[in-house]
Each structure stands twice: as structure tokens, then as C-alpha cells.
A and B are shown apart, each in its own frame.
Chain A
Amino acid sequence: MMTYIQNHNDNRGRSYRKSGYIVFILIVIIIAFRIFMPNVTSGFFTAIARPFWRIEFSINNGQLRSNEQLLNDNQELLRKLEIRDVELKSTALLVDENEELKSLLGRASSTKNILAAVLQRPPIAVYDELVIDIGADMGLSDGDIVYAAHNVPIGKIVDISAHTSKVLLFSSPGQSYNVFIGKSNIAATAIGRGGGQYSVELPRSADVSQGDHVSIPSMRGNLYGIVGSIIADPSATFETVLFSAPINIYQLKWVYVEKK
């Protein structure tokens, strides 16, 4: 009587090959979707994640607190509002005068700004982006500029879903923008380093020092950043100026979008 030892290796090898083919086909399908219909997957998963982001945002902003707590907060905010109202009236006069002068010179601004809540923001994110809670429903379009408090430009809209949008930060690695830097408003190109940090290459003779302001060449003259440090190699003809946005992008809760 012959005894046959069953060889499992062939079966296992066939099983691995079959699994490999299935995985390969899955990867090809995913890549095809990402190349030819990138917004389909983005819109689908964003629609799933959005309710969770909204709930987290509500909790972080205290919208689930008790009525008594809300009433107390309301009173406190009303009191602060009265103080701010007085300060606002004095600055309103200056703003009106500014707009009047601009309109006389043919440079009146007519921007439409929309407030947006930041649902997700980088910390330690691979992509230097924010996710905000407005999208095609509020008429946003690609390239709309996004500002933080005090008119600080921080990014632009890149992906728009039905109710959310992604904001590509200006400080994203590889992004570059024209800026004016220093007291002499030296024209330069700022390159993003991620996380609200930028670098600029300037000649060593440039009159730039720590704490100098960086602005963008636009009519509004927004503050873009503040020089943090200067790396100068005595043997090199250029120095590297590092500056950062004047706001902490990791703590942003609200931004506003300037519609084109």
C-alpha cells in the first residue's frame, strides 16, 4: 500500500497568487478612480466624515452646554459687546474715510466675505490643509482666498464638495508667493515650509531684521508674516530669512473666505 504525503505548498502558492491578483485588481481600480474621478472618492468619504466633524466642532465650541451656562455666557458676551461697540464706532469713522479716499482714487474694494468654521486642521498632518464647513452650497470657487483674523491671508480653496471645502495653506511645502519684506519692502519670493512657516532667499546686503513685517503685494496690504530668524553663512552671498504667519494656524476655529 502506497502512502502519499499531501503537498500543501502548491495549494498555498495558488492561494497566494489568487490573493495577489485580487489585490492588484483592487489597487488598479482605486488608482483609476483617483485619476479619472478624483472628486467621487473625496466627496463620498467627506460626506461620511462631515457629521462627526460637525459634532466635534459643536462640542469644542460649547454648543452642548446647559441652558443656565449658556445664559451666563450670553450675559458676559453682551457686556463685552457693549465695550467693543464703543471702540468700533471710533474706528468705523476711520474705515469710512479710508473707503472714501479709495473710491475717489478709483480703488474702492468690493469684496464678499463668508465666515466658515474650521472642521479639521493640521496638527502633524501630511497635507498642509484645513477643512472648512462651507462649499458649493455657499457659491465658493477654486482659488478663493481664505483669511484668518485681522485679515491675515492663510490659503486658498482647492477642493469644493457640496458642504465642505479644503483650504490649501500658503505655507504648504513647495508653494511659492511674491511678498514684500522688511522696512524697505524688498520684493522677494516666499516658499512654504509647512505649518505656517516660510523661507525667503535674499542677498546678504538686504536690510531685513528679526521682527520685520512681511506683506503681500495687494491693495489691502495685509500682514502676511513676521520675520523670525535669519540664517546667514559668511561664505555665501545669500541669506535665508525664515518668517511665520502672525497667527497660530493650529488653533484656528474660524476663517473667512473672500469670494471672487
Chain B
Amino acid sequence: MIFKFLRRIIFDVAILACLVQGWWYAALIVAVIAAWNHKMYVELIIAGLIYDSLYGPVSMNNMTTHIGLTICVVLFILIGIMKKVIRMRE
């Protein structure tokens, strides 16, 4: 239990470090792996929010400024469905 919690924290820190560096591709890969291995990994959605907040032109406020959040929400739902389909137990 504690090991899983620590592992989740490590994934979170790694994602945050990648986002601060601007390595969205690395952050996405790590987030997807973490979402696959953890239950209800909402940090994936928050990662998309952080990326859009740091690098997106928020003042323009149209669909093109929410690419990160949109992709992460879609991935979160897809991974949840896939996990349910193959009955992956945590």
C-alpha cells in the first residue's frame, strides 16, 4: 500500500519535472504509464491543465488553447475503458 503510494508520488514528480522542462512528450508517456498502473489517476488530467497553463496562450481562450487538457481527458477515459475491458485488477 505504502509502496504503491510512493510509486504514485514518484510518477507525479517525474511528470511535473517533464512539464516544467517543456518535454510534453515525455510527460505524456510517463502519465499514460502511471494511469495504466494506478487506479483513478486524475493526475493525468491535471498534467494537461498544467501544460496548457504554462505554455498555452490562455488569453485567446478558444479550443486550440486547451489541447493538452483535451488530450489528457480523452486518454484518461480511454485508459479507464481499456482497463475495464481487460479486467485489470489493482
Chain B proximity of A220: nearest CB distance (Å): 25
Query: Chain B CB within 10 Å — which of A52, A126, A174 has the most?
Result: A126
Q: Is the CB of B24 within 8 A of A34?
A: no
Contacts of A158 in B (CB 8 A): 57, 59-60
- State the majority secondary structure of interface residues on A: helix
- Let me know if A125 is at the binding interface, CB within 8 A: yes
Query: Chain A CB within 10 Å — which of B51, B59, B61, B69 has the most?
Result: B59
How many chain-A residues does the 8 Å CB contact rule pick out? Answer: 36
- Let me know if A186 is at the binding interface, CB within 8 A: no
- Let me know if B13 is at the binding interface, CB within 8 A: no
| A26, B51: Cα distance in complex, Å | 17
How many chain-B residues does the 8 Å CB contact rule pick out? Answer: 32
Partner of B53, one of A41, A122, A124, A125: A41
10 more A-B residue pairs beyond the given contacts A19-B40, A30-B49, A127-B56, with a C-beta to C-beta distance below 8 A: A34-B69, A42-B58, A45-B54, A120-B22, A120-B55, A126-B24, A126-B55, A127-B65, A129-B55, A142-B59
- Let me know if B42 is at the binding interface, CB within 8 A: yes
Chain B proximity of A161: nearest CB distance (Å): 10
Query: Chain A CB within 10 Å — which of B22, B55, B59, B68 has the most?
Result: B55
Q: Is the CB of B40 within 8 A of A53?
A: no
